[in-house]
Chains A and B, each alone.
Chain A
Amino acid sequence: MDITVTVNGRQYRRTIEPRVLLAYFLRDELGLTGTHLGCDTSNCGACVVWLDGLPVKSCTVLAAMADGKQVRTVESLARNGQLDPVQQAFIDCHGAQCGFCTPGMLMTARWLLDRDPDPSEERIREAISGQLCRCTGYENIVRAIRRAAELSNTADDDGSSAALAGEQRDEVAS
């Protein structure tokens, strides 16, 4: 079947098997290997991307379901060579170790901060509770997301994903 998917602001038309998962579509068709697969059962969240502004586990979404929709992956976070505050904060706080869960964590973190610019530790833990990390014991991921909130809130121009995500956010809100 033919699908048209906008990924990180760029439109792609592809002919695919209807059963192809979004995660494999991103990785194998588009070469966006920042999205990882860790479990196949939507438990680990290494594959989290945004579909029309909402975080989804792309290992359990068909690429066909993204037809006509907007997908956002970790590769879009840095813009014009400038890291997103969540990326910078993961560096500052040692939020990544092996780096495998990191992209999914970053996508959830950015989504959370776009909705709640000043989340409590409890809110952060809840937001990432659908994702697994085997390296950090979550401590430094939680700290990194808190720091990202602080970085964003102190920046003159928040430099985050608002411009790219704004339209999608409205759709979710409606």
Chain B
Amino acid sequence: MTADGNGSAFGSRIRKEDARFVRGLGKFVDDVVLPGMLHGAMLRSPMAHARIVSVDVSAALAHPRVKTVITGEMLAERGMAWMPTLSYDQQAVLATDKVRFQGQEVAFVVAEDRYAARDALELIDVEYEPLPAVVDAHQALAPDAPVIRDDRPGQQDNHIFDWESGDAQRVAEVFAEADVVVEQDMLYPRVHPAPLETCGIVADMDPVSGRLTVWSTAQAPHAHRSLYAQLTGIPEHRIRVIANDIGGGFGNKVGVYPGYVCAIVASMITQQPVKWIEDRAENLMSTAFARDYHMRGEIAARSDGTILGLRVRVLADHGAFNATAQPSRYPAGFFGVFTGSYDLQAAHCSVTGVYTNKAPGGVAYSCSFRVTEAVYLVERMVDLLACELDMDPAELRMRNLIRPEQFPYDTATGWRYDSGDYPRALAKLLDMAGYHDLRAEQAAKRERGELMGIGLSFFTEAVGAGPRKHLDMYGFGMADGAELRVHPSGTAVLRVSCMSQGQGHETTFAQLVANELGIGVDEVDVVQGDTDHTPFGVGTYGSRSIAVSGAAAVTVARKVREQARLIAAAMLEADPEDLEWGDGRWYVRGVEGAGHTLAEIARAAHADIDLPDGVDGQLAASTVYNPPNLTFPFGAYLCVVDVDPDTGQVTVRRFVAVDDCGVRINPMIVDGQIHRGLADGIGMALMEHIAFDADGNHLGGSFMDYLLPTALECPSWELGETVTPSPHHPVGAKGIGEAATVGSPAAVVNAVMDALRPCGVRHADMPLTPAAVWRAIQGRALRSDLAIR
């Protein structure tokens, strides 16, 4: 399928961004250097929970290269000790009363260079009165649990919210009818997006104009600007947020962090630019983590494998401040899509959020607002059901998948899936993988005592948030703006509100416009990430760029094309209704090859022809796109693992992925997005883990402890595709940024569990490290979220 344009701009394998990246000429935030620039460093709490008795910064201030030290008290005087979170909680910018997680921000040193700033941290004397820490989410609601958030009026426990979805009564009915019910506790552990570039900012307050310019790693530059305006009192039109190149985000760079606010305040105080770049330990200890969902799933089915219902209870560990970044009315994100890709009669989930003495966050790491947790839950439950029924897990899935004729499909929890052909994707996967041969190989290996596992997952994503009627971020509807201007020569500039972190927007968005206007991809430049030069929008996360901003780009291009039609009609002295668009030109119907190209029309628009009503002397338009629904990409994954029974080491031998993200605008970029997410799945399933000891000490503060997959852990990915266009997106695209991260962990875990089946292992939680697998083989449990062995 192509759009109304000539379609030639789709499918090409190019990327505009690479010319600078391969030369080392990307412009990342730490590359920004301004005259007189100072450097900030953050003092952080060594304890998970403690009362602050005193903060003495006098020795630090006496350091010859220190300009100032900002404390919580100083911020409190300015009314900035606390900042609002995206979940309508408040988060300490610098602690004034207590510290509530290890790594929390306590004081901010500003010095002439980054070394001196770090030196001065050692000179600050903070006296803490230690308090007992709440580390285990299951203990957070115990009657004697220490209250973490005594700053909140009326808060007398660690409870944040209860949220539910679905029909509990109906679920009880179908469970009563079921032949078999399988239940399982499972943890989606705390992990971290860990983009290779950490978070950072350069803040430059111009004392004369009153203008604040901020360069930062912001996935949502406009939202950041709004928050800075609210917090500092600087009018919004005098704040400019610029995100140049961002070295990966994955949700880690959506929110505003205390270091950003401190750098801004420091620039206001010193009247000099201030740079703050966090180090890796700070990134892993204090910025948006992901997951930490303690789930209990129950699945009910008939003995023939027909799934009837699903019930889920979740305890959500949100850390010390409720700062999860998701649409306001969805405290558990889009976890409500936990019925996955299956046609079942009833479902219900309830989620309770709690505070613990850990860093805030929860919605990040390409999770599509917690669709990761939902997919993991349902795909593990389906595999457990297959074990219980002694059915092949592929057959069980095929039996229960939503059928193509059921779309648009209304789920038991109220979501309307837009389009899909699930059985086709699964069949393609099984064919590509050689599923039956794999099972035969596995049977032969089991005879010899070798542990080989084959794991499947089938996922449905919920992305492209979203309709502003239902979805907002901190009160901002999740629509996105786009502005397009065609220059007199027929080249164009597109300005969008989303912000790439490596996804290649400069290329893909240029392709979208080029496709509509019949001009070259090189003839369209894309401007993003600069609030002075782009329309308002809520940014790039939740795989929303192509689904929302991309739709805005197409919409605005079509508006311009319609302007061009009117001008062409004037040029051709024809009725606009008699014109047709094709091959990059407007021509009088029946006279193909004649007519005018966009460049000719653009030139005429700025010349002396009599312009018809309805057009200005230019080709330019703007729009705000408000999507009618989410989009629902889907896919079928298969993972093959070998497990060493003596060491518990898991080797991923193959990974086959069939993705359907609707129409693919740049297939090369789409494949690259999938590759990344598949590696995420290996990392989360086998390696990655933010763990704590019983006192709340963070045990994963470096890449020596927080293990990420390298080229050696990753197999060569085998990709396949089906294309089911979204019926409501203007070019049928759905979005691909997070699909593989959502779908792949379950496939890896299912594969390992399949391998361990002869050992009598039914379930073990991620990460399936050699130690965890070995213990599972020995029949010993492991709470992977705690360092309790």
Show the binding face of A for B, using Cβ within 8 Å: 17, 19-20, 24, 27, 31-41, 43-44, 46, 73-75, 77-78, 83, 87-88, 90-91, 94, 96-103, 106, 121, 124-126, 128-142
Specify which of B15, B703, B717 is in contact with A39 (CB 8 Å cutoff): B703
Instruction: List 5 additional A-B contacts (Cβ < 8 Å) besides A97-B676, A99-B21, A125-B712.
Output: A31-B33, A35-B24, A94-B18, A137-B675, A141-B711
A44 contacts B703, C-beta separation under 8 Å: yes
Instruction: List 20 interface pairs A-B (beta carbons < 8 Å), by A numbering.
Output: A75-B23, A83-B23, A87-B23, A88-B22, A90-B18, A90-B22, A94-B668, A97-B672, A98-B196, A99-B20, A99-B502, A100-B195, A102-B26, A128-B710, A132-B196, A135-B248, A135-B676, A137-B676, A137-B677, A142-B716
How many A-B contacts if CB must be within 8 Å?
Answer: 173
A46 contacts B196, C-beta separation under 8 Å: yes
Assuming A19-B115, A99-B245, A138-B679, is B22 touching A91 (CB within 8 A)?
Answer: yes
Specify which of A20, A94, A99 is in contact with B669 (CB 8 Å cutoff): A94
For the complex, is B128 an interface residue (Cβ under 8 Å from A)?
no
Specify which of B15, B25, B250, B704 is in contact with A94 (CB 8 Å cutoff): B15
Q: Which residue of B lies closest to A143 (CB)?
A: B716
Q: Which residue of B lies closest to A75 (CB)?
A: B24
- Whole-angstrom CA separation of A35 from B245 in the bound complex: 14
- Whole-angstrom CA separation of A138 from B714 in the bound complex: 8
Assuming A44-B196, A46-B196, A90-B22, is B712 touching A99 (CB within 8 A)?
Answer: no
B26 contacts A138, C-beta separation under 8 Å: no
Closest chain B CB from A166 CB (angstroms): 22
Assuming A87-B23, A99-B20, A101-B196, is B280 touching A39 (CB within 8 A)?
Answer: yes
- Whole-angstrom CA separation of A24 from B711 in the bound complex: 27
Q: Which B residues, 3 to 53, have Cβ-Cβ distances below 8 Å to chain A?
A: 13, 15, 17-26, 28, 30-31, 33
Q: Which residues of B contact A37 (CB under 8 A)?
A: 30
Q: Which residues of A contact B669 (CB under 8 A)?
A: 94
Q: Which residue of B lies closest to A99 (CB)?
A: B21
B679 contacts A98, C-beta separation under 8 Å: no
**The 9 A-B residue pairs with the shortest CB-CB distance in the complex, in nearest-first order:** A34-B24, A98-B502, A100-B247, A99-B21, A137-B675, A137-B679, A43-B703, A74-B24, A97-B502
Q: Which residues of A contact B19 (CB under 8 A)?
A: 91
A137 contacts B702, C-beta separation under 8 Å: no
A98 contacts B712, C-beta separation under 8 Å: no
Majority SS of interface residues in chain A? Answer: loop
B24 contacts A39, C-beta separation under 8 Å: no
- Whole-angstrom CA separation of A106 from B25 in the bound complex: 13
- Whole-angstrom CA separation of A24 from B116 in the bound complex: 14
A96 contacts B711, C-beta separation under 8 Å: no
Q: Which residues of A contact B672 (CB under 8 A)?
A: 94, 97, 135-136, 140
Q: Which residues of B contact A90 (CB under 8 A)?
A: 18, 21-22
A136 contacts B704, C-beta separation under 8 Å: no
Q: Which residues of B contact A101 (CB under 8 A)?
A: 196
B21 contacts A96, C-beta separation under 8 Å: yes
B279 contacts A87, C-beta separation under 8 Å: no
B24 contacts A103, C-beta separation under 8 Å: yes
B714 contacts A139, C-beta separation under 8 Å: yes
Q: Which B residues, 633 to 691, have Cβ-Cβ distances below 8 Å to chain A?
A: 668-669, 671-672, 674-679
For the complex, is B354 an interface residue (Cβ under 8 Å from A)?
no
Q: Which residues of A contact B675 (CB under 8 A)?
A: 136-140
For the complex, is B198 an interface residue (Cβ under 8 Å from A)?
yes
Q: Count the B residues whose beta carbon is within 8 Å of the partner chain — how many? A: 55
- Whole-angstrom CA separation of A99 from B281 in the bound complex: 22
Closest chain A CB from B783 CB (angstroms): 26
Closest chain A CB from B291 CB (angstroms): 17
Q: Which residue of B lies closest to A96 (CB)?
A: B21
A134 contacts B196, C-beta separation under 8 Å: yes
- Whole-angstrom CA separation of A62 from B482 in the bound complex: 47
Specify which of A35, A41, A83 is in contact with B280 (CB 8 Å cutoff): A41
Which of A39, A40, A74, A140 has its CB near the most chain B CB atoms (within 10 A)?
A39
For the complex, is B504 an interface residue (Cβ under 8 Å from A)?
yes
Q: Which residues of A contact B24 (CB under 8 A)?
A: 32-35, 73-75, 102-103
Assuming A99-B245, A134-B676, is B717 touching A139 (CB within 8 A)?
Answer: yes
Q: Which residue of A lies closest to B677 (CB)?
A: A137
- Whole-angstrom CA separation of A124 from B712 in the bound complex: 10
Assuming A41-B704, A75-B23, A129-B710, is B246 touching A98 (CB within 8 A)?
Answer: yes
Q: Which residues of B contact A33 (CB under 8 A)?
A: 24, 28, 30-31
Assuming A38-B280, A133-B196, is B247 touching A99 (CB within 8 A)?
Answer: yes
Assuming A97-B672, A129-B710, is B22 touching A83 (CB within 8 A)?
Answer: yes
For the complex, is B357 an interface residue (Cβ under 8 Å from A)?
no
- Whole-angstrom CA separation of A73 from B24 in the bound complex: 9
For the complex, is B527 an interface residue (Cβ under 8 Å from A)?
no
For the complex, is B97 an interface residue (Cβ under 8 Å from A)?
no
Closest chain B CB from A144 CB (angstroms): 10
Q: Which residue of A lies closest to B701 (CB)?
A: A41
B711 contacts A128, C-beta separation under 8 Å: yes
- Whole-angstrom CA separation of A44 from B709 in the bound complex: 11
B703 contacts A106, C-beta separation under 8 Å: no
For the complex, is B523 an interface residue (Cβ under 8 Å from A)?
no
For the complex, is B555 an interface residue (Cβ under 8 Å from A)?
no
B115 contacts A20, C-beta separation under 8 Å: yes
A36 contacts B22, C-beta separation under 8 Å: no
Which of B28, B196, B501, B714 has its CB near the most chain A CB atoms (within 10 A)?
B196
For the complex, is B708 an interface residue (Cβ under 8 Å from A)?
yes
B708 contacts A132, C-beta separation under 8 Å: yes
For the complex, is B136 an interface residue (Cβ under 8 Å from A)?
no
- Whole-angstrom CA separation of A99 from B26 in the bound complex: 7
Assuming A75-B23, A98-B501, is B245 touching A137 (CB within 8 A)?
Answer: no
Closest chain A CB from B116 CB (angstroms): 10
Closest chain A CB from B29 CB (angstroms): 11
Q: Which residues of A contact B704 (CB under 8 A)?
A: 41, 43
Assuming A78-B23, A91-B22, is B280 touching A135 (CB within 8 A)?
Answer: no
A43 contacts B501, C-beta separation under 8 Å: no
A100 contacts B22, C-beta separation under 8 Å: no
- Whole-angstrom CA separation of A156 from B31 in the bound complex: 37
For the complex, is B197 an interface residue (Cβ under 8 Å from A)?
yes
- Whole-angstrom CA separation of A43 from B33 in the bound complex: 26
B279 contacts A134, C-beta separation under 8 Å: no
Q: Which residue of A lies closest to B246 (CB)?
A: A98
Assuming A94-B15, A99-B17, A134-B195, is B712 touching A121 (CB within 8 A)?
Answer: no
Assuming A38-B198, A43-B704, is B710 touching A137 (CB within 8 A)?
Answer: no
Q: Which residue of B lies closest to A126 (CB)?
A: B712
Interface string of B274-316 (1 = CB under 8 A from A): 0000011100000000000000000000000000000000000
- Whole-angstrom CA separation of A74 from B26 in the bound complex: 12
For the complex, is B528 an interface residue (Cβ under 8 Å from A)?
no
Q: Which residues of A contact B668 (CB under 8 A)?
A: 94
